[in-house]
Structure 1
């Protein structure tokens, strides 16, 4: 698969969502980190959710991005919410290099994205898997990172996490999907988490300070794979191949 155009690389913050259904949202904290192939997206309501029902309103996903002309499609390999039947495709227009407009193909929504200036430069990421069945990724863009880790078991069918909770689903398992976003800040506050889908995770560190994201052998440091995330796998994370688009579509169909 071809890499996305360089114009897409970095961290994009959504500053506006409007829909034909009347929604107007400037408050939800939304960040999309894009590398050459992999992406991750985190969406946390404001005020910060506290109860299980509020936490179930969060959204986030990760996978592979495909760009065809003005159309951008995000193939979700893992998702905090139950899998959606519709494809995630937007029509993109760069008004400026750091100011991107996204519109639904059916015209049902309009989003404004602004690129964070400190997200330019380094762009890297790896797909991960664990012996317990989890998948995830660690993505880097400039001074930012976004880590995603799926649940141990797939979600049962349902329209939303809220519905699954209402049906008596086990909250700890349903809400265990981790998406943690933050900055390395050139060593001043290494791997500092600013926003996470897991309560209490913001303000903590994703990885030990000794792990340098600029190190040439970053992806070969055992400490990275043994300590990554709020609940590292017992046997550690393993590097995996980038999910193939065909496999993502098959898994979610």
Structure 2
């Protein structure tokens, strides 16, 4: 009987130690999680958020979809699709700045609205910044980009024309897609591709301020800095309107 009691006590202590160990590990993981790098400067208080589409027109086309290769009837059938629509994402702050209209942010270049959510180096972007300052914020993906979608029927139609032998007209219908390349972004913002005239396969990317950054005697490159944005630290146009923006 005493042996059985002793066994129960040992099992109980083992269970308690195991539970304590799990608790310590969980607490440690939670503490480590609290030190994770965050994009937001602090919690963002919103009363509503969502997304919707605006604009767009109907289009009837035989090339909305492409029949599979083994389709019994390979002929395309007419379908109606919507093109030219624009995706909008919004956030409404809990505390709104009085007598302040909402702001609508439109990205540029080959970006989408995602570029307004945070900076490339992981800091808070313009969209949450305005919401934090009490301004309802709407960001868009330009029509034809990102979540707005694009009219893929023109590509299907071009491919069908090329397959049928009308290569010239089919090729002319294929749209030109542009994008920012990784090395192009690097040379525009962060450094140089050396030697001059080389490609990403034959050259070397050198950061501003690093050894080999040309020209070595340039007064603008006397200090080590990264990244070197090609604009003043404070836009003079904003300084002239101090207090007018997000204050």
Does TM, normalized by the shorter one, top 0.5? no
TM bucket normalised to smaller = under 0.3
Specify which structure has the higher proportion of helix: 2
Instruction: Tell which has more relative contact order, 1 or 2 (C-alpha 8 A, sep 6+).
Output: 1
Instruction: Give TM-score scaled by structure 2 length.
Output: 0.20
Q: Report which of the two structures shows the higher radius of gyration computed on alpha carbons.
A: 2
Specify which structure has the higher proportion of strand: 1
